């Protein structure tokens, strides 16, 4: 777990606890929360394409919060399941990609090659971070960390949208994600011993 995630998680969990309690009492199923968060992120990505930055910030931010709430509701109500975890992880990958795809298309349409490149580098780096963890766990290697994980990506992107500094945010996400991917590859190699490549 990254430093920011480790430090902010207790504060964030305390902040969202009233929402978790409300949704739990209302009997809202965690899978429905997962899908609701995805739809908000989809809408936020569409408005981002049209440069409605404040609307996009609110939609994406709310969607990201719901994405974090679904697991807490599942644990609180005892409705957590293997399928729910699978659905959540799968939807997360789509949710992570949508804002970067939206920005990539926007910059491409405007003839901005650097913005387009940064958008897709951020997208590729984000998938690299997620994939290395999933593949490591499939190989029996758990607990690999990284300096720039999902929380950092979302915080950086949302701040970039709010402050109208999207290219800078994309640059940070791209560099941070690719760096974290390399860091995780190194960690897995350490756990598993030297590879056959002799590197």
Distances 93 to 52, 112, 195 between C-alpha atoms, Å: 23, 26, 29
Question: Which pLDDT does position 116 carry in this prediction?
Answer: 97
Look up 92 and say whether it is catalytic.
yes
The widest CA-to-CA distance across the chain, in whole angstroms, is: 57
Question: Which pLDDT does position 196 carry in this prediction?
Answer: 47
At residue 26, the 3 state secondary structure works out as helix
Question: What confidence tens digit (pLDDT) does each residue in 162-197 have?
Answer: 999 999 999 999 999 999 999 999 989 888 875 444
Q: Could you give the CA distance from residue 140 to residue 144 in angstroms, rounded to a whole number? A: 11
Question: What confidence tens digit (pLDDT) does each residue in 76-91 have?
Answer: 888 888 898 899 999 9
Of the candidates 21, 67, 88, 92, the residue annotated as catalytic is: 92
State phi, psi for 4 to the nearest 5 degrees.
Answer: -65, -45
Q: Could you give the CA distance from residue 79 to residue 121 in angstroms, rounded to a whole number? A: 37
In CATH terms, the superfamily for domain 3-191 is: CDP-alcohol phosphotransferase transmembrane (TM) domain (1.20.120.1760)
- Taking the CA atoms of 135, 137, 140 and 141 in sequence, report the sign of the dihedral they define: positive
Residues of the chain short of pLDDT 50, as ranges, are 195-198
Question: Which pLDDT does position 147 carry in this prediction?
Answer: 83
28 CA to centre of own chain: 23
Question: Which pLDDT does position 138 carry in this prediction?
Answer: 87
The overall pTM is greater than 0.85: yes
């Amino acid at each position: 777990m990254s430093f920011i995630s480790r430090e902010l998680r207790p504060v964030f969990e305390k902040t969202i606890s009233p929402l978790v309690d409300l949704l739990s009492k209302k009997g809202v199923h965690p899978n429905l929360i997962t899908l609701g968060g995805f739809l908000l992120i989809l809408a936020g990505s569409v408005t981002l394409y049209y440069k409605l930055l404040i609307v996009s910030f609110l939609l994406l931010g709310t969607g990201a919060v719901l994405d974090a709430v679904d697991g807490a509701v599942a644990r609180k109500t005892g409705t957590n399941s293997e399928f729910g975890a699978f659905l959540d992880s799968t939807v997360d990958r789509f949710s992570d990609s949508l804002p970067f795809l939206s920005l990539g298309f926007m910059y491409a349409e405007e003839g901005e090659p650097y913005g387009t490149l940064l958008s897709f580098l951020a997208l590729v780096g984000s998938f690299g971070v997620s994939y290395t963890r999933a593949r490591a766990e499939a190989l029996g290697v758990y607990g690999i960390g990284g300096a720039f994980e999902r929380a950092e990506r979302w915080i950086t992107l949302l701040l970039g949208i709010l402050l109208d500094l999207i290219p800078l945010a994309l640059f940070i996400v791209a560099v941070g994600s690719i760096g974290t991917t390399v860091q995780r590859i190194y960690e897995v190699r350490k756990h598993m011993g030297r590879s056959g490549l002799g590197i």
